[in-house]
Structure 1
Amino acid sequence: MPDVSPADLVLTGGRVHTVDGRDRVAEAVAVRGGRIARVGAAEEMAPLTGPGTRVVRLEGRSVLPGINDSHLHGMWLGAMWPNLLMDQLAGSGGGHAHEPPSAPSRLETADDRRRAILRTADLLASFGITSYTEPGLGPGEDDGATGCFGSAALYDYAELAAQGGLKARVTALMLFGELDGRSSAQEFFDGLRDFKPPADVQGRFKVAGVKIFADGIPPMRTAWTDRPYTDGSHGALLIEGRSDDRREEALRTMIDAAHDAGHQIGVHATGDATTRVVADALAAALRRNERDARHYVIHGDLLAPRTLTVMSAAGIGLNTQAGIPVATEPMLADALGEDALRDAWPTRDALDAGVRLCLSSDSPVLTPDWRAGLAAAVTRRGLDGSVRGEAQRLALAEALRAYTITPAWQDGEEDVKGSIEPGKVADLCVLDGDLYGAEPEALPSVPVRMTVLDGEVVHEL
């Protein structure tokens, strides 16, 4: 028999975008004990509404699954906000490079780092974000310039999670090389063998795997490309080695070692040569040692159709940022020529090929406001009004899935979160308007009215 004990919270009279398998829209949702208890029509909530139930009249507002920013540097964002790197680097071809041009004071102590994390917690809650991935913390950055990416940060996160200080579910990847810099196969192997990450904190924090920086970015001519840059160069992998072949061999052995150790692997790969080699290496590792790994390519600026086919067949995801192409396409064309734009940031082609697509912010490179990312994915329109890569536009429903249920897949938790269905965790984002009633360009101006994590309201206007 269904449980008809009173709900803790009922949201009714709006448009509940479930993001389930059929993208159904309901009128109301009930929450009990941190879980979704019922989804349906307003009258179906009456049996679950008791004297202690908080009832929120939505009056046409939209309810979405809690937003999952699947590639966001949380500690660094807390140290940088409201400054964004794209704003500072736009005039210098910066793309999504991570060298902070006006970095804050180095985070030296645990208190410094935790203040940054908690600042991000409040900020993300105000945007309706209930999950995010911290993509690269570990010993490779223990002596880094900012103090935002070292191995101590993993333990800071775990302790704050255990104390109930986080306002989002955090997934982390370990980093055994430099951020946007060199790494070596030997240091990577040593890290896999010797570094002991903190234990997971159920439902709040986990270390899922490792991140590898394979190359740089095309606008700076540091991505490894099959086609030449306008100056005749091809860039190179960031992995140490005396030749392209040796560097590629080292990258493949790193991927094999991490896969065999049971880790999820996220690879920063942007050039078409790099994305091709990474996709092939991940696919080969999965064929040799088959498991449900959820590996993925990060950024994927240049992805040839053949690479997308390999990724789809092997179940390799793509995690990219819709705001990058609308800001940097002219820089890429200047570096590689107009012909390169055919394979640039192919979000539409990736979905059509069957690749699981996650959209994210890479904040503080871009704003952590997912509404801006959603608008960019749907319109491909830059701040100057120009449309970049119109053929790669996504439908609004597709972009929403790329911020909710597909990142839940990346986290290995699509059965737990990412959609509004009975039994799943009650992570919700309430928009102060109709999601489909606003023009896409106007989405960033639609306020987030309420954010719910595990059934608890963590933000409310």
Structure 2
Amino acid sequence: MPDIVFLHGEVITVDQQNRILEAIAVKANRIIAIGTSEEIQRLVGPETTVVDLQGKSVLPGFIDSHLHLSSYGIDKLGVSCKAPHIESLQDIFHDLHEKASGLPAGKWVRAWGFNETKITEQRYPTREELDRISMEHPIIIIRACNHISVVNSKALEILSIHNDTPDPKGGIIERNSRGELTGRLLETAHFQIAKKVAYSEEEKSHALALASADYVAAGITSIHDAGCNDADSFRVMHQAVRNGLVKVRIYAMVCTMDSPEAFLESMIAAGMTTGVGNDRFKIGPAKLFTDGSSSGPTIATRKPYTSNPEDYGILYYAQEELNRRLGEAHRKGFQITAHAQGDRAVEMVLNCIEAAMQEYPRPDARPRIEHAGVSEPDLLARMKQLGVVPIPNPAFFYEYGEGYVRNYGDRVNHMYPLRDFCENDIFAAIGSDSPVTDYRPLFGIQAAVTRKSKQGQEIGHNQTISVMEAIRAYTWNGAYASFDEHCKGSIEAGKLADLVILDGSILQATPDTIADLSVHLTMIDGDIVYRAGS
């Protein structure tokens, strides 16, 4: 007899037939039956809890296939540049000053979510402006894309960055016309500071718990973590899952923001490989970065930016090095992936995947490309041939859409091309890239269906998909991307009881109101981990 049954609902199974049923029965951590309300009612015993859904939608638990759990949690401990009251640099400076005044000297003061296009001044802050806030606290403001930051003089001192410090490979330490540091750090110059912006293990664990709570309240039951700040944060994340602080299931990419090559080498040497772990925490793909941020803009493109005919973006590796590093991971049994936003970077990753598969053939390797930002038809054909799983981010259009049009022109018609992925039978799994943009899957589904910016501009409308297609990209395709389609991603008997119940019908909602729905209940492993109002 089931422990709990849900009756009279809109059960969106996401099975092979995309059946819409009415009821589900759950025992322990598994779905044991689905069908009509009458069929499931017959299974009810004296100890069974019966829930009348009254027409609410039930979906497989959402799987966010690319986000940063620890970064989002740490951000919640700092100043949010996305807060509703932030309209200018002065608003940010005020909040930073308030934060610094409550911290001992020497403690880092962190702001996140900065976007120079969204504030009155339409520019980055300067090092001198941050110095006026405090010379006793290191201060860092991280751009929304998490690829660029601005720091004050105290931070530069701690980071040992001076006027004569050379740019790291794949990054820029910005200087003015007099050769003086501006405080702005781009790409690897930004990533290299991650391990020096220190937080205690207690703070990291608390941050992870905060992030997990937000994610389960949004209906997310599984995440593919796209990289921690450093190796210690990876350990703390695993420990937080074991201790029950983190409720979401984690498929953890082997990647750190600082020195990802060294971390990958150490994991290979330790005998780790994709799939090690259990259904709560499992080692995922080996990941490297190949280019920059789509909104920065710093992505590597085959043609120059529409906004700047001299700019082709930033590349982190030569083809040979990328092939060698990810090729070795593939040889040792890892699923491989890379951050690739521009079409030049996507092409390089495809070259790498092709070389690895030819040298070390392996059935069903499921290589991934994180973001696959500008994916034109020739690149799609190669993805299909190589069995690549792209991880697009449609929610970016809402926050950064106008900038995409300005920087890339007509290429927006091939950015995160979900329609092309569907029509070419390429299993694309959606990720939010939180905290870069909104983590809510309902928001991401609406963005995939409408491709509208915050101002209402349609960005590449030819790539919109249906609600059902978007739901599949957030559920079954996400399970496929982590080799888990046999146990989750759809509502079928025998699969894990990871479910999300909405407060209404997603299939009856108009495209522009999908994100107005809210999550009524989230179940992970048969346990109710979130209930609205409780």
**d(CA) in 2 for partners of 1:100 and 1:436?**
41
Q: Pairwise CA RMSD of aligned residues?
A: 2.5
Counterpart in the other structure of 1:3: none
Q: TM-score, normalised by structure 1?
A: 0.87
Question: Against the structure 1 CA distance between its residues 79 and 100, is the aligned structure 2 distance closer, same or farther, given a 3 Å change threshold?
Answer: farther
Partners of 1:95 and 1:162 lie apart in 2 by 30
State the partner residue of 1:171: 251
Distance 2:200 2:264 in 1: 28
1:438 is matched with 509
Which whole-Å CA distance do the structure 2 matches of 1:107 and 1:428 have between them?
36
Pair 1:295 & 2:295 matched: no
Q: 1:183: how far off?
A: 6.4
CA distance in 1, matches of 2:114, 2:516: 19
- In the alignment, is the contact (CA less than 8 A) between 1:71 and 1:361 conserved in 2? yes
CA separation in 2, counterparts of 1:227 and 1:202? 44
Q: CA deviation at 1:218?
A: 4.5
- 1:183 and 1:42, CA in 2 relative to 1: closer, same or farther beyond 3 A? closer
Q: Are 2:206 and 1:206 equivalent residues in the alignment?
A: no
Q: Distance in 1 between matches of 2:530 and 2:264?
A: 42
Cα distance change, pair 410–14 in 1 and its aligned pair in 2 (3 A): same
- What is the count of residue pairs matched by the alignment? 432
Counterpart of 1:48 in 2: which secondary structure?
coil
Aligned-pair distance for 1:166? 2.4
- Structure 2: any 5+ residue segments left out of the alignment? 83-111, 124-142, 152-192
Structure 2 SS opposite 1:341 = helix
Task: Determine which structure has greater relative contact order: mean sequence separation of CA pairs < 8 Å that are 6+ residues apart, divided by chain length.
Answer: 1
Code of the aligned partner of 1:156: V
Residue among 382, 385, 395 paired with 1:310: 382
Q: Is residue 26 from structure 1 mapped to residue 21 from structure 2 by the alignment?
A: yes
Among all aligned residue pairs of Structure 1 and Structure 2, give the percentage whose two residues are the same amino acid. 30
Return the offset for 1:261. 1.4
Query: Which residue pairs with 2:431 in the alignment?
Result: 360
Paired with 1:169 and 1:316, the residues of 2 have a C-alpha distance of 23
Contact 1:221 1:335 in 2 (8 A): yes
- CA offset at residue 248 of structure 1? 1.5
Post-superposition Cα deviations, 1:42-65, rounded to whole Å, max 9, x if no partner, equal 111123211111111000101000
Aligned counterpart, 2:242: 162
Contact kept, 8 Å, 1:12 with 1:57, in 2: the verdict is yes
Partner amino acid, structure 1, of 2:231: S
Q: 2:209 aligns with which of 111, 115, 118?
A: 118
Alignment of 1:35-434 (within 5 A): 35-81=30-76, 83=80, 88=115, 90-91=117-118, 96-99=145-148, 106-137=197-228, 149-175=229-255, 178=258, 187=262, 190-194=265-269, 200-229=276-305, 230-239=308-317, 247-288=318-359, 289-336=361-408, 338-434=409-505
Q: 297-306 vs 25-34, which deviates more?
A: 297-306
**Contact 1:88-1:101 within 8 A present in 2 as well:** no
Match of 2:528 in 1: 457
CA drift of 1:193 comes to 4.2
Alpha-carbon shift at residue 449 of structure 1 (Å): 0.6
Following TM superposition, by how much is the alpha carbon of 1:308 offset from its aligned partner in structure 2, in angstroms?
0.6
Cα separation, 1, equivalents of 2:412 and 2:244: 46
Secondary structure at the aligned position of 2:26 is classed as: strand
Specify whether residues 350 and 101 from structure 1 end up closer, same or farther in structure 2 by C-alpha distance, changes over 3 A only: farther
Amino acid of the structure 1 residue aligned with 2:145: H
Q: Aligned with 1:31: secondary structure? A: strand
User: Conserved in 1, the CA contact under 8 Å of 2:397 and 2:452?
Assistant: no
CA shift digits 1:1-49 (9 cap, x unpaired): xxxxx10110001110000001101100000121001000011112321
Work out whether residues 127 and 448 of structure 1, in 8 Å CA contact, stay in contact via their aligned partners in 2: yes
Deviations along 1:324-344, whole A, 9 cap, x unmatched? 1343233233334x2333432
Alpha-carbon distance between aligned partners in 2 of 1:321 and 1:454, rounded to the nearest angstrom: 27
Shift in Å, 1:99: 3.7
Q: Residue type matched to 1:403 in 2?
A: Y
Counterparts of 2:222 and 2:245 in 1: how far apart (Å)?
Answer: 14
Question: Which structure has the bigger radius of gyration?
Answer: 2
Q: Secondary structure at the match of 1:49?
A: coil
1:80/1:97 CA distance change after superposition, 3 Å: closer
Report the alpha carbon displacement of residue 235 of structure 1 after superposing the two structures with TM. Answer: 2.6
